[in-house]
Every structure is written in structure tokens, then in C-alpha cells.
């Protein structure tokens, strides 16, 4: 008998467990049991705008002995959905993701799916042919997806499916999402976990459990070993198991809104991480400490083994970049610029190597991990203190500071210590400056992959996007109303502008500005952009313009000149998860208008000041004055923090409502009588 047969997992779980006494305690939905009354679900109290509704979604996982001298995971799922309109047809497309490693892969079994429709007052059924209707796609070396689409789906259909997944990968205990893109009437997950398997339980989301329970009992396990000898060996033993049950009821849909890192950070969900095996199996810690994990990464050929090897093949490139340069920072900058400008990133979603650094060096292309690990190796070759850093981007999701769960990471950057300063580098972005990271990298916890596994925190609050705009309008000697526009955008807006101009050119950039003004501006001229190639700084935009004068009697001027908020970025009446802005905002706007000869003020906006809270975390200031025939406006939007809880949403939304309203107001000048 394999020693694995005696492995034990212990469940680490700090969840407070309780059992609610409300009714109902079970869902009435069962596969294959459908009635005419099931088509008459009233959703108005939950979401009258829903395209589909999940009537029931029930999953269960258990650990069973197998015939390979070990244990397997068995996961079953039943799901029933009502399609309310054509926009809900996506619910009829099902994807089931499976894990593989070499020739071993998780097995999908017992797939059943049926579409129900009402026809002449009776329920009709259209069943999926699971033998020919389920397709397989291999996504990468570790991921497979099985797909099928329900037949005969129409508005008002009820669809349901059921399947089982058997897995020999105990680390891949199925997570469960209670909340999705459609409202859910009943979502339930059951887990039977034996005392000899230990998992860390990770929960997230903002929805309370309707039911939550944990009970212990004894169970019988049968483990056989049919592969180690000519005769089969088996073992039967008893062990205590914990039966967990989690239920959520009437869960609202969660849809991605503005200022969201990724919706996956906020859905109500529970997931698991295998932590250890215990007696009677060989006691083994599966989840190591951060220093242990980083040590393995540094020795791994798929990550850090090449960083400190004899990389003499770099010599012809690296030496000319540092010859005659005394400053460590300048050396690092020269090497960084070379990698950034000569290598093409093929994927921004990798933390490990698919090829050796030498091959990446020859091919001049690779993933974000490959490019920045190569950068790290080149810096080390130049005797510069450099280490890789793994992180998760905002669009990928949060990581857990305590637990070294590597599949939570998807990005690699480089940290340099030069001239007593820490500098973070990303050479995978072609127009990103030295010492700059994109806002997507500022997602909380990160780790330096060194012997100390040094923790880092990349907070969006540390990023300041500062923008300043100056507009001056007067009347020229021809009687035309003309103006000058000067702007220094924030660094990240400048990065976007550089990307756009690289793709479409300067002419297209200014033509788009001209079109955005509409009929109010007849001409843009003397336009230019400075600092386009100075990638460490913001660009500077300058142009002159001539305004249309459709009427000689009245002149309308919107003093924001297209720079104001035209609509509130927070459109929903309520929000079920926090607001996550990518950076702190400081936008200043200065406007001067010399009133044309023969005209006087007919209407003038009033000054206003709005604050988000008493602490001054956000403020909008709009100060307007007229003196000596000159109208002057000084406006500023300042938001000092990036994270707002959902109970602050209404205040934030109203804050922007006030901004939109004020910035839409016009100056009206009329001809003197």
C-alpha cells in the first residue's frame, strides 16, 4: 500500500458557523422535476431588469478513496435557469473548466442538460445529446474547457443541467461562486471534508449567508492500489468528516461598473487551498511559507534558475550599455531602455517562463514574465542589485498576503536598488518610462522573490494623476473670437496619448479634439505636442482655436471647453461593492475670457464648492469672477483616496452629479443695446 494512503488533511477554517432558522431550508428545484407553475416566477422584488434568473445552483464536493492508492475529489453540480429575454441567451452557453497535468486530467461525467418550454399549456422537453453536443478545447498546458449550448432556447425557456467532475488533484478542490451576472434565487454549496485533509478556506464578497452549518460524523473510506503489483491491495478505514453547508438566497446580480478593478474581486465566493496532510498519512505540509516558496522559485528553471548563472551570452549587449557610466541608476536606465525598446511582449498574463532566458534574448520577444526576468538577469550581469517581483494586476484580482497561492499572481516586474533608492521597472510596456508602473500593477500585496520573500504593498493611493489646463479667449483685430489652449495631462493620460499617437498619428489626435467640440469651434490651428519622446514625464498639448459666431447678438461659451465631465461616471442608483479608482486625482483648470467689445454679460455661472466628507478626501471648487472686462474661472477636482466603501457610494455619486451640472453651465454674452 502506498504511504499516500495514510495522508490526512486538516481543515483550517475561522468561519463563524451558524444555522438560520428561517424557512425554506431547502430548494424545491430538482433535476428533471418541472411543472407549469415553475414558469411563473415573479422577479420584480429581486431584479425587474434581469435578462435571466438562476432559480437554483447547487454544488457538492466530497473526497473519496480511489483505485490508485490515493484519494479523489468528486464534484457534482445542478443548475436551473429561466431565460427572460434574448439578452439572457448567454446563460444557455455552458463552459466547464478542467485541470490537466501531462496526460492526467480531470474527468467530466454524467452530463445531462434539458430545455423546457411551454407549448399549448404543457411543458415540452428538448434534451442535449451529451455524446455529440459537448466539445473540448485545450486552452493551455494545464487547462481544458468543455462546452455545450442548450438546444431550442427561446424567451421564457427554463434550462437545467447536471454533471460530475472527478479529479485526482486534491489541491484543486472546486471553489463556489454564489453570485453571478444574473440574480440567484438559491445558491448552495456542500463540502464533505475528512479530517485527514487540511484546507485553508478563503471567503470574499458582501452578501450574508442565509444558512451556514458544519456537522461532524464518521465515514468509511475504501482505498485500493491496483497498479503497484500483480495483485490488488486495499484498505478500509474509518475517519471523522466535517459536512459543511453554505446557502445564499435572493442574491442580486453583480455587474461590472466604472472604477472597478475586476468584478471577480467582489462576487460572493468561497475557495480552498490545500495546506497539509496529517496522520494516518505521512504528515506533510503542502502549503509552504513565503520564504520556502521563493527559494523554490529561485531554483526553478521556470523562474529564477537563470538569473545568477554564467550569462556570458549577454556580454556583447550589456557591456556597451554600461561602459563609461558611473551611476548605478544610469546603468540600470540604459539596460532598461534597451530591453523596453527592443523586445515585444506577447502576453501580459504570466508569472513564469515558458522558454530559457537565452532563447528570449535571441528571439527578442516573450511574455511579461520572460521580458522582466531577462531584464533582471541583465541588470545582475552588470553587477546591479536587482530582484524579480511577482504581483497580481487589478484586472486579475486580489492576492492573499498570508498565503503563498501562486495562481493568484499573473505578473512579474523588476526591483532595482541603485544609488540607495528602490526603483520598480516594467520593460514589457513599450512607452512606459524608467521607474514607472501602470496603474494595473497597483493592486495591493506583492512579493520580492528573494531569500527573505520581502513583502511589498502597491497602493493606488500612492499614485497621483495631476492635470493642469489653461484656456485664454479674446477677440482679435478681425473681430473673431479666438483662444489658446495649453494642457499638461497626468502621466497616465500622457501614456495613453503616446500609445494613440503611435498608432494613429498627431493629425488624427487633433482632428478628434476638433470633432469633440462640435459646431462651437470652427477651426484648430498651430497645434503641437511636446515631450512625446520623454517617457518619464507628461506630454504638453498646445493649440489655438477660433469660435463660431452664429449670432451677432448672443455668444454662448462653455468655459470648460470640452474638458468637463459630460456625464456622471457612477450611473447606477446603488452599488453592491466598493469603488476602486486607479489613482488619486488632482485636476486644475484655469480659464480667462476677455469680453469682446460691444458685449456684456447676460448670464454667468455662480461659484460653488463641494466636499465629499469632513476629512476633505474629495473636493470640487469652481470659483468665477469678473473684473475689468475679464471673466476668470479657477476650478479644481481633488480626490485624495482611491477606495470608497459601498455605503459611501451615494455621497460620491452626488459629488459627481454636482460636478457634471456645474461644468455644463454656460457663459452668455449679449450685444449691448
Give 310-368 pLDDT, tens digit per residue.
888 999 999 999 999 989 999 999 999 999 999 999 999 999 999 999 999 999 999 99
Q: Is the pLDDT of residue 48 over 50?
A: yes
Average pLDDT on 638-662 reads 96
Helix (H, G, I), strand (E, B) or coil at 642: coil
Q: Would you tell me which CATH number, out of the four given (2.40.128.110, 3.20.20.70, 2.60.120.1130, 1.10.3210.10), belongs to the domain 463-480+549-673?
A: 2.60.120.1130
Helix (H) or strand (E) holding 412: strand 411-418
Contact 526, 544 (CB under 8 A): yes
> How far apart are alpha carbons 94 and 148 in whole angstroms?
5
Report residue 608's pLDDT band, with 50, 70 and 90 as the boundaries.
Answer: very high
Tell me, what's the pLDDT at 286? Answer: 87
Report residue 413's pLDDT band, with 50, 70 and 90 as the boundaries.
Answer: very high
Tell me, what's the pLDDT at 3? Answer: 36
Average pLDDT on 366-376 reads 97
- The C-alpha cell that represents 108 in the structure block: 467530466
Residue 647 β-bridge partners: none
Average pLDDT on 299-310 reads 91
Residue limits of CATH 3.10.620.30 in the chain: 290-458
Q: How distant, in Å, are the alpha carbons of 58, 298, 300 from that of 306?
A: 47, 9, 9
In the block, cell 424567451 appears at 155
Reported residue count of the chain is 673
Domain 290-458 class, CATH top level: alpha beta
Q: Is the dihedral of CA 515, 521, 522, 527 positive or negative?
A: negative
Q: Is the pLDDT of residue 4 over 70?
A: no
Query: Considering only CA atoms, which of 224, 212, 245 is closest in space to residue 17?
Result: 212
E strands present in 501-617: 521-530, 540-547, 554-557, 579-580, 584-594, 599-603, 608-611
Helix (H) or strand (E) holding 178: none
In the block, cell 478681425 appears at 478
User: Count of alpha carbons within 13 Å of 187, Cβ hemisphere only?
Assistant: 23
- The C-alpha cell that represents 292 in the structure block: 520556502
Q: Is the pLDDT of residue 197 over 90?
A: yes
Q: How many CB atoms lie within 10 A of CB 87?
A: 12
Average pLDDT on 419-430 reads 96
> How far apart are alpha carbons 467 and 541 in whole angstroms?
11
> How far apart are alpha carbons 558 and 370 in whole angstroms?
50
Tell me, what's the pLDDT at 287? Answer: 85
Helix axes 328-342, 368-381, angle to 10 degrees: 150
Q: Is the pLDDT of residue 17 over 60?
A: no
Query: Considering only CA atoms, which of 376, 463, 429, 442 is closest in space to residue 535?
Result: 429
What residues have CB less than 8 Å from 337, skipping those under 6 apart? 434
Average pLDDT on 408-434 reads 96
Report residue 5's pLDDT band, with 50, 70 and 90 as the boundaries.
Answer: very low
Report residue 309's pLDDT band, with 50, 70 and 90 as the boundaries.
Answer: confident
Tell me, what's the pLDDT at 502? Answer: 93
End-to-end CA separation in angstroms for the chain: 105
Mean model confidence pLDDT for the chain: 91
Contact 556, 668 (CB under 8 A): yes
Report residue 12's pLDDT band, with 50, 70 and 90 as the boundaries.
Answer: very low
Q: Is the pLDDT of residue 284 over 80?
A: yes
Residue limits of CATH 2.60.120.1130 in the chain: 463-480+549-673
Contact 520, 560 (CB under 8 A): no
pTM for the whole thing?
0.86
> How far apart are alpha carbons 2 and 198 in whole angstroms?
20
**Which letter does DSSP use for residue 49 in this model?**
T
Query: Considering only CA atoms, which of 362, 393, 357, 356 is closest in space to residue 375?
Result: 357
> How far apart are alpha carbons 590 and 472 in whole angstroms?
8
> How far apart are alpha carbons 240 and 216 in whole angstroms?
7
User: Count of alpha carbons within 13 Å of 587, Cβ hemisphere only?
Assistant: 16
Contact 618, 640 (CB under 8 A): yes
In the block, cell 485500493 appears at 224
Residue 9 β-bridge partners: 197
Contact 229, 262 (CB under 8 A): no
> How far apart are alpha carbons 322 and 330 in whole angstroms?
8
612, with CB counted inside 10 A (0-12, 13-18, 19+), is buried
User: Count of alpha carbons within 13 Å of 465, Cβ hemisphere only?
Assistant: 21
Q: Strand 385-391 vs strand 444-448: parallel, antiparallel, or unpaired?
A: antiparallel
Query: Considering only CA atoms, which of 428, 430, 426, 449 is closest in space to residue 290?
Result: 449
- The C-alpha cell that represents 639 in the structure block: 480626490
Tell me, what's the pLDDT at 20? Answer: 42
Q: Is the pLDDT of residue 8 over 60?
A: no
Contact 653, 610 (CB under 8 A): no
Tell me, what's the pLDDT at 24? Answer: 85
In percent, the amount of the chain with pLDDT more than 90 equals 77
CA 300 remoteness from chain centre = 28
Q: Is the pLDDT of residue 536 over 70?
A: yes
Tell me, what's the pLDDT at 285? Answer: 87
Report residue 186's pLDDT band, with 50, 70 and 90 as the boundaries.
Answer: very high
Tell me, what's the pLDDT at 479? Answer: 86
Average pLDDT on 565-584 reads 93
Which range, of 279-283, 513-517, 559-563, 663-667, averages the lowest pLDDT? 279-283
Query: Considering only CA atoms, which of 222, 205, 206, 216 is closest in space to residue 242?
Result: 216
**CATH T-level topology, domain 3-22+46-285:** Immunoglobulin-like (2.60.40)
Tell me, what's the pLDDT at 18? Answer: 36
Q: Is the pLDDT of residue 15 over 70?
A: no
Report residue 551's pLDDT band, with 50, 70 and 90 as the boundaries.
Answer: low
Helix (H) or strand (E) holding 445: strand 444-448
Q: Is the dihedral of CA 614, 615, 621, 623 positive or negative?
A: positive
**Which letter does DSSP use for residue 145 in this model?**
E
> How far apart are alpha carbons 434 and 287 in whole angstroms?
36
Rg (CA), the chain: 31
Tell me, what's the pLDDT at 294? Answer: 95
Residue limits of CATH 2.60.40.3140 in the chain: 3-22+46-285
Ramachandran angles phi, psi of 620, nearest 5°: -125, 125
Q: Is the pLDDT of residue 81 over 90?
A: yes
Q: How distant, in Å, are the alpha carbons of 71, 94, 243, 562, 645 from that of 395?
A: 35, 23, 34, 30, 19
Amino acid at each position: 500500500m502506498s504511504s499516500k494512503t495514510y495522508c490526512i488533511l486538516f481543515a483550517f477554517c475561522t468561519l463563524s458557523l451558524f444555522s438560520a432558522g428561517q424557512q425554506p431550508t431547502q430548494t424545491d428545484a430538482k433535476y428533471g422535476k418541472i411543472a407549469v407553475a415553475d414558469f411563473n416566477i415573479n422577479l420584480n422584488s429581486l431584479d425587474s431588469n434581469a435578462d435571466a434568473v438562476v432559480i437554483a445552483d447547487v454544488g457538492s464536493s466530497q473526497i473519496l478513496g480511489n483505485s490508485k492508492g490515493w484519494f479523489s475529489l468528486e464534484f457534482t453540480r445542478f443548475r436551473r435557469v429561466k431565460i427572460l429575454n434574448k439578452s439572457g441567451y448567454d446563460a444557455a452557453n455552458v463552459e466547464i473548466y478542467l485541470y490537466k497535468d501531462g496526460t492526467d486530467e480531470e474527468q467530466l461525467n454524467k452530463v445531462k442538460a434539458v430545455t423546457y418550454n411551454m407549448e399549448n399549456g404543457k411543458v415540452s422537453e428538448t434534451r442535449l445529446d451529451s455524446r455529440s453536443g459537448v466539445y473540448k478545447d485545450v486552452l493551455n498546458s494545464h487547462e481544458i474547457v468543455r462546452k455545450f449550448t442548450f438546444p431550442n432556447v427561446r424567451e421564457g425557456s427554463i434550462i437545467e443541467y447536471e454533471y460530475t467532475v472527478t479529479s485526482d488533484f486534491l489541491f484543486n478542490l472546486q471553489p463556489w461562486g454564489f453570485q453571478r451576472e444574473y440574480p440567484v434565487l438559491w445558491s448552495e454549496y456542500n463540502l464533505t471534508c475528512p479530517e485527514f485533509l487540511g484546507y485553508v478556506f478563503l471567503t470574499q464578497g458582501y452578501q450574508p449567508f442565509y444558512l451556514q452549518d458544519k456537522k461532524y460524523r464518521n465515514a468509511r473510506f475504501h482505498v485500493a492500489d491496483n497498479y503497484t503489483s500483480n495483485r490488488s491491495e486495499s484498505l478500509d478505514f474509518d475517519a471523522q468528516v466535517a459536512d459543511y453547508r453554505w446557502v445564499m438566497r435572493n442574491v442580486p446580480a453583480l455587474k461590472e461598473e466604472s472604477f472597478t478593478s475586476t468584478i471577480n474581486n467582489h462576487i460572493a465566493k468561497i475557495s480552498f487551498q490545500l495546506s497539509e496532510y496529517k496522520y494516518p498519512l505521512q504528515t506533510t505540509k503542502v502549503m509552504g511559507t513565503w520564504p520556502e516558496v521563493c527559494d523554490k522559485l529561485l531554483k526553478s528553471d521556470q523562474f529564477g534558475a537563470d538569473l545568477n548563472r554564467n550569462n556570458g551570452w549577454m556580454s556583447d549587449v550589456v557591456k556597451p550599455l554600461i561602459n563609461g557610466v558611473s551611476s548605478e541608476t544610469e546603468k540600470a536606465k540604459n539596460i532598461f531602455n534597451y530591453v523596453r525598446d527592443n523586445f515585444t511582449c506577447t502576453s501580459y498574463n504570466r508569472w513564469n517562463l515558458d522558454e530559457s532566458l537565452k532563447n528570449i534574448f535571441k528571439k527578442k520577444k516573450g511574455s511579461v514574465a520572460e521580458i522582466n526576468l531577462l531584464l533582471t538577469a541583465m541588470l545582475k550581469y552588470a553587477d546591479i542589485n536587482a530582484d524579480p517581483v511577482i504581483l497580481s494586476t487589478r484586472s486579475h484580482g486580489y492576492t492573499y498576503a498570508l498565503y503563498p497561492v501562486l495562481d493568484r499572481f499573473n505578473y512579474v516586474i523588476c526591483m532595482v536598488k541603485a544609488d540607495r533608492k528602490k526603483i520598480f521597472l516594467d520593460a514589457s510596456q513599450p512607452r512606459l518610462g524608467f521607474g514607472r508602473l501602470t496603474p494595473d500593477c497597483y493592486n495591493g500585496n506583492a512579493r520580492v522573490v528573494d531569500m527573505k520573500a520581502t513583502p511589498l504593498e502597491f497602493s493606488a493611493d500612492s499614485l497621483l494623476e495631476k492635470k493642469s489646463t489653461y484656456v485664454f479667449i479674446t477677440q482679435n483685430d478681425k473681430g473673431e473670437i479666438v483662444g489658446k489652449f495649453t494642457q499638461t495631462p497626468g502621466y497616465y493620460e500622457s501614456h495613453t496619448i503616446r500609445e494613440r499617437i503611435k498608432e494613429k498619428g498627431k493629425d488624427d489626435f487633433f482632428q478628434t479634439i476638433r470633432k469633440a467640440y462640435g459646431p462651437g469651434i470652427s477651426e484648430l490651428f498651430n497645434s503641437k505636442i511636446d515631450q512625446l519622446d520623454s517617457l518619464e514625464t507628461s506630454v504638453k498639448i498646445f493649440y489655438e482655436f477660433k469660435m463660431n459666431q452664429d449670432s451677432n447678438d448672443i455668444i454662448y461659451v462653455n468655459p470648460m471647453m470640452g474638458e468637463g465631465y459630460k456625464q456622471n461616471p457612477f450611473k447606477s442608483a446603488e452599488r453592491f461593492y466598493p469603488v476602486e479608482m486607479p489613482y488619486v486625482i488632482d485636476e486644475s483648470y484655469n480659464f480667462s475670457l476677455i469680453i469682446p467689445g460691444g458685449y456684456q454679460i447676460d448670464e454667468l455661472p455662480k461659484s460653488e464648492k463641494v466636499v465629499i466628507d469632513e476629512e476633505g478626501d474629495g473636493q470640487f471648487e469652481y470659483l468665477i469672477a469678473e473684473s475689468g472686462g475679464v471673466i476668470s474661472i479657477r476650478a479644481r477636482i481633488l480626490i485624495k483616496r482611491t477606495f470608497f466603501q459601498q455605503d459611501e457610494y451615494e455621497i460620491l455619486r452626488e459629488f459627481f452629479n454636482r460636478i457634471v451640472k456645474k461644468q455644463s453651465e454656460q457663459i452668455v454674452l449679449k450685444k449691448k443695446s
